[in-house]
Structure 1
Amino acid sequence: MPAFDTIDDLPADSRVLVRLDLNSPIEDGDPQDNRRFERHAETVRELADAGHRVVLMAHQGRPGRDDFTSLAGHADILADHVGRDVAFVADTYGEAALDAIDALEPGEVLLLENTRMCDDELPEASPEEKAETELVETLAPRFDAYVNDAYSAAHRSHASLVGFPLALPAYAGRVMETEYEANTAIATREFDGPVTMVVGGTKATDVIGVMDALDDRVDRFLLGGVAGELFLRAAGHPVGRDVGEMDLFDEQWEGNRELIESVLDERGDAVRLASDLAYEGADGDRAEVAVDDIEEKREAFLDVGAATVADYEPAIRESDAVFVKGALGVFEDERFADGTVGVLEAIAETDCFSVVGGGDTSRAIEMYGLSEDDFSHVSIAGGAYIRALTGEPLPAVEVLEAAADR
């Protein structure tokens, strides 16, 4: 069990400051609805229904980027999911924000402006330094408690994540609680049968680190995506290279070559590589080629092939636990979703403990009509999921645990 307190432990009639992660794709200036709103709405609804005065903090984008924008639109989307009004104030800790906080009645919900519009928020620093920022010192006295529900940002040491638990009694929201338990299961739970990890995506550096860290916890790795091609390259195949305008493989190969070769050398029997790959044929349709028949990489490979899916499925079906990190292909394009969806379908049909991680991969479940209920947990975290899998500390979780000890 986690060593932090949850909202079950919150005293009645509290004025609570709640940190969410509502970071979303922005299209034409508007935030797009996604799984994060739905998940966080559970915590917000529960707190409001219990009669707490609920003030929300969240971030969107980063200064200088196109998606760095106000949270005004986020309040409307969240309200739809919560089923009650979510007021918004275009201020985080100035007079307008403080007045709006003071005016809240029991059961009312208020969203403050983007925390990353505050100078105090972003630079990574120790919790002690963050607790002394103007943001924390101004807001904390207005509240009885702090709730962190932003597991997907828990690997960051930002003021809204690590400063408040030093200044207020601190609790975990429902997303924080469920994500933490599922994502640490690979390190903390004992499984009776084989543990399998499906590894893909474009950030090979991340997943190769995970493979190295979980060496003794995972019985077999099923590879696809960029990492899968780099492992094929290490195994002597002429793939895992950039072609044309591509900029995905060569740099990651240089940075990870030694680690990939050592993982293959030491755990080669546990690493399953694709036997065929899919690409866009001359007619624009999906085409497949056996890896052994590739003499030179001339085009981008966008998915694993049918033979690979057929090879991976039995390994999944006999597993006691399956963890997914990253998609096996470019599933956003229906032509190249077979690998990712085939593997997810096999997991869904298997009676095993399963965690699907990484925001992108979890989207495939929705896109292709699979049910979240067929998986033990679908994570909305990316970087924090990687950290949890590799056993690296999560600063925002550590301060929650320290607050519980106090």
Structure 2
Amino acid sequence: MTFQTLDDLDDGQRVLVRLDLNSPVEDGTVQDNRRFDRHAETISELVDRGFEVAVLAHQGRPGRDDFVSLAQHADILADHIGHDVDFVDETYGPQAIHDIADLDGGDVLVLENTRMCDDELPEEDPEVKSQTEFVQTLKGEFDAYINDAYSAAHRSHASLVGFPLVMDAYAGRVMETEYEANTAIAEKEFDGQVTMVVGGTKATDVIDVMTHLDETVDDFLLGGIAGELFLRAAGYPVGYDIDDANLYDEQWEQNSEKIETMLEDHRDQITLAVDLAYEDDGDRAEQAVDDIEEKSVSYLDVGSETVMEYSPIIRDSEAVFVKGALGMFEDERFSVGTAGVLEAIADTDCFSVIGGGDTSRAIEMYGMEENEFGHVSIAGGAYIRALTGAELVGVEALQR
């Protein structure tokens, strides 16, 4: 580990803790989600060790419907840790400073949405962020800074990269475990087969991941929109838009040469779907890709035969990483691919990391438990960057 963790921090200090509690907001109501549960572990440990805790977090972006106060987040966090959590509607104003000074051991105070501060959002160098009024005002109020927001660590925002340059800085438990799991594919040595399940809607992400990991991963199992574009490169009449959704053609124009090169250079490492599923009179129907003469329907999942081909590969693997869903799993009819590969992973003793965002939601939706997997990430963009070898500026700041 290349940064300090909570194990290196003496108990009972006053700490400023950056979490990522960014959540869906429906009709003005903040929705509970996995991030609260994960960060609650860090906060609970700090409470038990007698720390005085002030929390920084963001929600939404200015101008969007989900750009709301963190008042509701404080209540949800309190439910998860089983402990009172106070809230102040300032981030570093006079009332916030007063409430921070009043903290006692075991107290938790959530400060207002960091993105309501002018200093927070512009992507600027950490050195610039460290000199903002936001950082300079708060730094003297605390003994240490703790970054637990791995899922936001790709953002060069003041609350993520400014404080580590002017304060003693540590990684929280979420930061520590996410970093270790998400860098394992590049840094950990495996004796057996390494498999990556790759899907989702963004072909560029898939190509970048596959290009970076082509010498590490033995077998890429493809699905989703990206998988259909690879089928197009292999000569099948799919991967085209048949309506105004513009899901395929634009991505093909941008990435076709890379996809064709990847397929040509690494065909023995790439396993493509053998059948695809679509909606027919309200039901799920499947069609072998060899039988498709012209794309006339929208394909919403890989087919059952594909899952039967992917599952033994997964079960024979020592390590399996998942990036992206293989179909529109939110609709149970088209969950066969995503749920099927997750169930195959859960049935094995392999080292496994399930990518953040939508894919991890399928675990709960289809009756699986997180403890059946090695690690279920709550990171989205940061997970992609870890898989592609890109640096995470928030992690770099901690390492400095």
Compute the TM-score of the two structures, normalised by the length of structure 1. Answer: 0.97
- Partner residue of 1:353 out of 337, 351, 354: 351
Which residue in 2 is equivalent to 1:303? 301
Once the two structures are TM-superposed, the CA of residue 240 in structure 1 deviates from its matched residue by: 1.0
- Partner residue of 2:393 out of 388, 392, 395: 395
Whole-Å separation in 2 of the counterparts to 1:313 and 1:12:
47
Matched, 1:18 2:17: yes
Q: How does 1:108-147 map to 2 (within 5 A)?
A: 108-147=107-146
- The CA deviation string for residues 346-388 of structure 1, in whole angstroms up to 9 with x for no partner, is 0001111000012110000011110111111000001111111
SS at match of 2:260: helix
Which sections of structure 2, spanning at least 5 residues, go unmatched?
A: none
Whole-Å separation in 1 of the counterparts to 2:22 and 2:11:
30
Which residue in 2 is equivalent to 1:378? 376
Once the two structures are TM-superposed, the CA of residue 305 in structure 1 deviates from its matched residue by: 0.2
Q: How does 1:154-173 map to 2 (within 5 A)?
A: 154-173=153-172
Matched, 1:188 2:182: no
Whole-Å separation in 1 of the counterparts to 2:275 and 2:206:
21
Which residue in 1 is equivalent to 2:268? 269
Which residue in 1 is equivalent to 2:84? 85
Which residue in 2 is equivalent to 1:200? 199
The code of the aligned residue for 1:20 comes to L
SS at match of 2:22: coil
- The CA deviation string for residues 221-258 of structure 1, in whole angstroms up to 9 with x for no partner, is 00000110010111111111122131211221112111
The code of the aligned residue for 1:147 comes to I
Which residue in 2 is equivalent to 1:260? 259
Whole-Å separation in 2 of the counterparts to 1:197 and 1:13:
43
Whole-Å separation in 1 of the counterparts to 2:279 and 2:162:
50
The code of the aligned residue for 1:83 comes to G
Compute the TM-score of the two structures, normalised by the length of structure 2. Answer: 0.99
Whole-Å separation in 1 of the counterparts to 2:134 and 2:250:
39
- The CA deviation string for residues 138-177 of structure 1, in whole angstroms up to 9 with x for no partner, is 1111010000000000111110000000111000000000
- The CA deviation string for residues 195-223 of structure 1, in whole angstroms up to 9 with x for no partner, is 00000111221121101110100001000
Whole-Å separation in 1 of the counterparts to 2:241 and 2:365:
29
Which residue in 2 is equivalent to 1:209? 208
The code of the aligned residue for 1:71 comes to L
Whole-Å separation in 1 of the counterparts to 2:246 and 2:148:
35
The code of the aligned residue for 2:327 comes to G
Which residue in 2 is equivalent to 1:3? 2
Whole-Å separation in 2 of the counterparts to 1:48 and 1:149:
15
The code of the aligned residue for 2:156 comes to S
Whole-Å separation in 2 of the counterparts to 1:251 and 1:383:
21
Which residue in 2 is equivalent to 1:365? 363
CA RMSD of aligned residues (A): 0.8
Matched, 1:70 2:75: no
Which sections of structure 1, spanning at least 5 residues, go unmatched?
A: none
Whole-Å separation in 2 of the counterparts to 1:342 and 1:280:
19
Whole-Å separation in 1 of the counterparts to 2:196 and 2:225:
16
Whole-Å separation in 2 of the counterparts to 1:274 and 1:344:
16
SS at match of 2:266: helix
Whole-Å separation in 1 of the counterparts to 2:166 and 2:329:
44
Once the two structures are TM-superposed, the CA of residue 20 in structure 1 deviates from its matched residue by: 0.3
Whole-Å separation in 2 of the counterparts to 1:379 and 1:243:
34
Whole-Å separation in 2 of the counterparts to 1:73 and 1:297:
47
Whole-Å separation in 1 of the counterparts to 2:4 and 2:377:
21
Which residue in 2 is equivalent to 1:324? 322
The code of the aligned residue for 1:121 comes to E
Which residue in 2 is equivalent to 1:49? 48
Whole-Å separation in 2 of the counterparts to 1:247 and 1:139:
46
SS at match of 1:60: coil
The code of the aligned residue for 1:290 comes to A
Which residue in 2 is equivalent to 1:30? 29
Whole-Å separation in 2 of the counterparts to 1:247 and 1:24:
27
The code of the aligned residue for 1:346 comes to A
Which residue in 2 is equivalent to 1:315? 313
Whole-Å separation in 2 of the counterparts to 1:74 and 1:296:
50
Whole-Å separation in 2 of the counterparts to 1:110 and 1:133:
22
